Structure 1
Amino acid sequence: MSNSQKSLACQAPESVLNLSPEAQKLSGRIALITGAGRGAGRAHARLLAARGAAVAIVDIDEDVARATAADIVEEGGRAIALGVDITDRALAERCVAHVAEQLGGLDILVHNAGLIYSMTGLEQTDDANFNRLLAINVHAPLYLTRAALPYLRQSRAPRVIFINSQWGQVPDGHSYAYMVSKAAQLGLMKTLSKEFVSEGILVNAITPGAILTRMVPDEYIEPEKANIPLGRLVHPEEIAAAVAFLASDEAAFIAGQVLPVNGGALLVGI
């Protein structure tokens, strides 16, 4: 990227300087969202599409990816679906290239895919589970972001957004595979931000508390609520609103930051 391109990429959008109500709109932008077939990822995809973005629904389960894409199209949006195991480097790279070719580029990359974590102590932590969570939470975002760089550099508003967890900030003393992988993911986010912010590529993370999706077993809902000052779990749409904000022109001066969406859980040390 030339110096003039860097300068242009780092300028504040006119819509922000004028406090335009259009600043939240994402018309003409292209987003790739992992784990977007169901749950919170589905909510992210639907909201970004409603704001005008074309969205690529990437999920290891192609059937749910297709269903979500079909719903978005039915609602008047533009979407494509891909069934991909993003922990496979070659598949992840081909996925990004395919999305850029089909949709005409890439502006927004949302690392949302995740796994249900096991509540185990150190001695009970399974090596295979530990490695699997590192693969999905650290390796896959690295592969995808690296593959996306050529397209993000061509974007006028490039964004990389990690859906992390409050446990990435404050570990609970067990669930090693999940806690360590989420903490490592935050380190990856900050390192990417520091390297690419001068090119105008804004990399940030959202750290939700427990989200009201199938990933939280029924028996954990009440105990989780007891740790949240607002007294409830966060809804997927509330995380999606934070994603839409970080993807928008209104967030054009936010880089390398962690946005907690946890109902005040960190106030009481979870």
Structure 2
Amino acid sequence: MTVSTQGALATQAPEAVLALAPDANRLKGRVALITGAGRGAGRAHARLLAARGAAVAVVDIDEDVARATSAEIAEAGGRAIALAADITDRALAERCVAQVAEQLGGLDILVHNAGLIYSMTGLEQTDDANFDRLLAINVHAPLYLTRAALPHLRQSRAPRVIFINSQWGQVPDGHSYGYMVSKAAQLGLMKTLAKEFVGEGILVNAITPGAILTRMVPDQYIEPEKANIPLGRLVHPEEIAAAVAFLASDEAAFIAGQAIPVNGGALLVGI
């Protein structure tokens, strides 16, 4: 279904949206750990949380991009450290959390952003190794990190765990088994964590975007994706970051166990 959209909201630049509410001190004094934060959407999350006052740990498997994003934040007047780690390794994930808490003085906000797609294949073409790798990055790694972070989150005034999931975790498209299944499992993990820890004040939620305008979406898929989105475009990383910043803030203190769609209305037409 192709939807033609009129009006400013369909084409408004994300920079203009974010400029409406800079809120420079909203997250002052808090520490955020963001995985996959060296580039793409993770970089946008790191930049915005830092701009709103949080000290940010930029965690990425690629040390060079982690350092580049950390340096960019520092140059803008923020506080950030860069850590390189394969968070699918439990020992490395646990060490990563310990380093963040030691170097930045605690941990208040944990953002599970790291992710992969690999291939868009049917069942018979699904590679076992790729399937396992996607489960590792989308399910095992968040479990390891959250478990390691618990002692620090329990000491936080406003503890938050935020998953960057996908609309395809809610409505699968009939292929890309590793991605679809791992994202659905990730939502189950989010809800289970939310239910277990909400009584302790640890708020766990997810954001379920559609296709984000990053390198994870190959050029040949951009136009077909746009045709399925009522607002007529892909979501920008900065718009996902705005949702992350909201969930990390005091304004979201009564939200727990929710999967918040940021997809331009794609679910309205059944994607």
CA distance in 2, matches of 1:259, 1:192: 16
Instruction: Tell me the equivalent position of 2:13.
Output: none
> Against the structure 1 CA distance between its residues 155 and 199, is the aligned structure 2 distance closer, same or farther, given a 3 Å change threshold?
same
Other-structure match for 1:34: 35
Which SS does the other structure have where 2:80 is aligned? strand
Q: Residue in 1 aligned with 2:222?
A: 221
Aligned counterpart, 1:196? 197
1:263 aligns with 2:264: yes
Partner of 2:75: 74
Are the aligned partners of 1:23 and 1:250 in contact in 2 as well (CA < 8 Å)?
no
Counterpart residue number, 2:137 = 136
Indicate the residue corresponding to 2:206 in structure 1. Answer: 205
Structure-1 separation of matches of 2:25 and 2:81: 23
Offset at 1:23? 10
RMSD: 1.2
Structure 1 ranges of 4+ moved more than 4 A: 21-24
CA contact (8 A) 1:203 1:255 kept: yes
Say if 1:232 and 1:24 are closer, same or farther in 2 by CA, change over 3 A.
Answer: farther
Any idea what SS the aligned residue of 1:157 has?
A: coil
- Aligned residues with identical type, % of pairs: 92
The two structures have a TM-score, normalised by structure 2, of 0.91
Give me the whole-angstrom Cα distance separating, in 1, the residues matched to 2:23 and 2:159: 18
The answer on whether the counterparts of 1:32 and 1:56 sit within 8 Å (CA) in structure 2 is yes
Residue pairs, 1:1-270, within 5 angstroms:
25-270=26-271
Q: What is the TM-score when the length of structure 1 is the normalising length?
A: 0.91
The offset of 1:118, in angstroms, is 1.1
Distance in 2 between residues matched to 1:243 and 1:66, nearest whole Å:
22
CA distance in 1, matches of 2:210, 2:267: 9
In the alignment of these two chains, the number of paired residues is 250
Deviations 1:113-149 (A, max 9, x none): 0013411000000000000000000000000000000
Q: 1:193 to 1:100 in 2, by over 3 A?
A: same
Give the gaps of 5 or more residues in structure 2: 1-21
- Are the counterparts in 2 of residues 23 and 248 from structure 1 also a CA contact under 8 Å? no
